[in-house]
Amino acid sequence: MVVVLRSVDFDDPEIVEFKDRIGSYVEQAEIFGFTYRLYLNEDRLVGIVLIGKEPFQLFKPVGTPLIRFVVLDYDQSEVVLNQLVDEVLSLAKERDVEYAYLNIPVEQDKLAEHLEQIGFQELANRYEMSRSLDESIGVSNQLRYEQIERKDVNQFFEYMKEFMSGSPDVVLSMVIENFKNIPEAALDGWYQGVQAYFVYYDNEMVGILDLVPQAGFIQNIGVSPAHRGKGFGTEMLRFCLNLFKETGSKEAGLGVHVDNKRAIHVYEKLGFSISRQIRTMIWWKST
């Protein structure tokens, strides 16, 4: 069976027809100077490809050419989905990017198999977890939360290296390592999009925390290695849930590596359950 996917580039007047459907994917990318291309099977939107340079994902140092792509319609046939990733790989080689990646649900095993056949490999395997915020969440006053200022952003990421150490999440390690030399505009964007905290017990810093209250999403919770096992991580999590509830969120969400059993156990004790499992598949130019 031969399927011909049609592409529409970001500067094509036809792109206006799809703006409402792709807005959430392209808004941040456009801030970082990315261009993009849509792939369609007849009139059905199959996927979107974002083309630019770090610091969009930080799998590599700032300035590294990359492609991120998103499958928008998993109801397409196996033939169509395979052709989509083949087209993206051809584009990656044509544009001479250093890597191309996508996130796919774990149940898309046939697509994952084809990706591996053409040179992709698994970079990460994560659970997305969530819980409702119907009931009240009790929070003690043993910890003090100091929201960081813009001038503290670089220091925050320095602490993150230490306080997030030991995580099996390879992606997190890559992001922290490649955080160096990020343009100030990108740091401004990160700071404006999150609430980040230094967390203290008495006058000693014991943790870091960043979250997106308007989305009810916890990005990172880190506890100093010297203070692990004391319940601080659980208490910080309660702080997040209470804050989300106070700001009107109906649900809280987070992501965690499937091998981070200790963290998963803590999250489940506080009412989180697994919503879905996502694999990050990546093609490196050098492999």
pLDDT tens digits along 20-36: 889 888 887 887 789 99
Q: Where are the domains of the chain?
A: 6-119, 132-278
pLDDT in tens, 83-134: 999 999 999 999 999 999 999 999 999 999 999 999 999 999 999 999 999 8
Q: What global pTM score does this model have?
A: 0.86
Given a contact cutoff of 8 angstroms between Cβ atoms, the answer to whether 41 and 76 are in contact is yes
Q: Is the pLDDT of residue 1 over 70?
A: no
Give the DSSP H or E segment for 255. Answer: strand 251-257
Among the ranges given (16-20, 110-114, 195-199), the one the predictor scored with the smallest mean pLDDT: 16-20
% of the chain at pLDDT higher than 90? 71
Mention every residue, 6+ apart, whose C-beta is less than 8 A from residue 229: none
Specify whether the CB–CB gap between 237 and 270 falls below 8 A: yes
How confident is the model at residue 99, as a pLDDT? 96
Task: Give the separation between CA 162 and CA 160, rounded to whole angstroms.
Answer: 5
Give residue 222's pLDDT: 93
Q: Quick one: pLDDT band at residue 193, thresholds 50, 70, 90?
A: confident
Alpha-carbon span 142 to 146, nearest angstrom: 13
pLDDT, averaged across the chain = 91
Per-residue pLDDT at 3 exceeds 70: no
Residue 13 — very low, low, confident or very high, per pLDDT cuts 50/70/90? very high
Tell me which residue has tokens 């697509």.
111
Contact 58, 179 (CB under 8 A): yes
Taking residues 241-247, what's their average pLDDT?
A: 93
Q: Which fold has domain 132-278?
A: Aminopeptidase (3.40.630)
Burial of residue 174 (CB within 10 Å: 0-12, 13-18, 19+) is middle
Give me the CATH topology for the region 6-119. Aminopeptidase (3.40.630)
Location of structure tokens 């930080």: 58
What average pLDDT does the segment 216-238 reach?
Answer: 94
